[in-house]
Chains A and B, each alone.
Chain A
């Protein structure tokens, strides 16, 4: 669905924004692009080291626990985390949608659900880190054997904690910013401004965090 603009609009002849978006939104896109390269570099470094290793720990063996349910449940906990993040992305999109219609109450409601989702995700990650730490994994320490039974180097733990940590830090920042803009929306700042573009911009960031998780989930847990 292309934007509804006159077919032969002269975008570059001055007087209007050639990309037809507000400055802050465009810059958010470029920030996200650069952040994509940062995450990409991390994940590709991980891939390079993993491919260069003769064997590597089996994720189904490492990530097999669920709170209160014990062990032997590979993929279950991370599926929960993935669905939490997808749902919080949906609530964010609904907040942006309400913003388009200038519905303050709707924006605040969906933003609160988005924050709840973010906090739930962070709690899950805190539990998982704590659990792995108790099993003896940390930066520089990896108790899990390689899939072929040999002793593994600490590479696996180093990459896991660095990349999920960097992602978790993004989620944490997102939650903080979400809380700030929700308070602003609730106090009517955007209503007075006449538009909810700020929600759109933070929404872009939030979806990006979900997007990165798609790949963290893929490369650490699935394959």
Chain B
């Protein structure tokens, strides 16, 4: 093992010399570039064609999944997280799982906000005024005390 140590820890390579780590870097580069090109192609497809709303969402969903794949390759290969020991990986990945809730909850909230605004009708204006007037008067009387 050609590991150097630092403060009693193994600080050195996940790759022994002469192994395929450089090949892995280049393979990941091509994968990332390839995915980006596919994403751009889908982006142009969306731009150039008028899809139905459902198909539009489906293609955007595919682009999002491709981006997640890119994120996985960057973190796992370029940042070598895949080569760390399992407990370390878990302390990074498990807290990030909060994003699942985070995204669902907030987008849901945004959507509901839009629907509420779209459907909002002021209550029957006449009734509204009638209700308010006496209450207003009451408040006024209260103020005289």
Contacts and interface: CB of A to CB of B under 8 A. Distances in A.
The answer to whether A binds B is yes
Interface of A: 1-5, 11, 15-23, 26, 29-30, 33, 36-37, 40, 44-45, 47-54, 60, 74-75, 79, 82-83, 86, 89-90, 92-94, 97, 100-101, 194-195, 197, 203-204, 207-208, 210-211, 214-215, 217-218, 221-223
A217 B88 CA distance: 29
Contacts of A18: 87
B92 A29 contact: yes
Contacts of A5: 10, 85
Give the secondary structure class of B's interface.
helix
| Interface size range of chain B in the complex | 35 or more
Given A48-B109, A222-B39, A33 B92 contact: yes
A37 B98 CA distance: 9
Interface of B: 1, 4, 6-17, 21-22, 25, 29, 32-33, 36, 39-40, 42-44, 47, 60, 63-64, 67, 70-71, 74-75, 78-79, 81-85, 87-88, 91-92, 95-96, 98-99, 102-103, 106-107, 109-111, 113-114, 117-118
Given A49-B110, A60-B47, A20 B85 contact: yes
A22 B11 CA distance: 7
Given A75-B40, A89-B78, A21 B9 contact: yes
A194 B6 contact: yes
B6 A83 contact: no
Contacts of A207: 74-75, 78-79
B6 A79 contact: no
- 10 closest A-B pairs by CB: A51-B110, A48-B110, A52-B110, A100-B13, A19-B88, A52-B113, A223-B60, A218-B67, A48-B106, A52-B114
Contacts of B84: 3, 19-21
A101 B68 CA distance: 31
Contact of A211 (B75, B109, B110): B75
Nearest to B109: A48
B111 to A, nearest CB: 5
Contacts, number: 162
Contacts of B12: 100, 195
Given A20-B9, A21-B84, A218-B67, A194 B110 contact: no
A62 B75 CA distance: 31
Contact of B14 (A1, A53, A90, A218): A1
8 contacts: A17-B8, A19-B87, A20-B9, A22-B9, A22-B11, A52-B117, A217-B67, A223-B64
Contacts of B99: 40
A4 B1 contact: yes
B25 A93 contact: yes
A89 B79 CA distance: 10
Nearest to A211: B74
Contact of B4 (A29, A48, A97, A195): A195
Contact of A218 (B63, B83, B92): B63
A70 to B, nearest CB: 17
B43 A75 contact: yes
A144 to B, nearest CB: 16
B130 to A, nearest CB: 32
A218 B64 contact: yes
A3 B25 CA distance: 17
A35 to B, nearest CB: 12
A115 B85 CA distance: 30
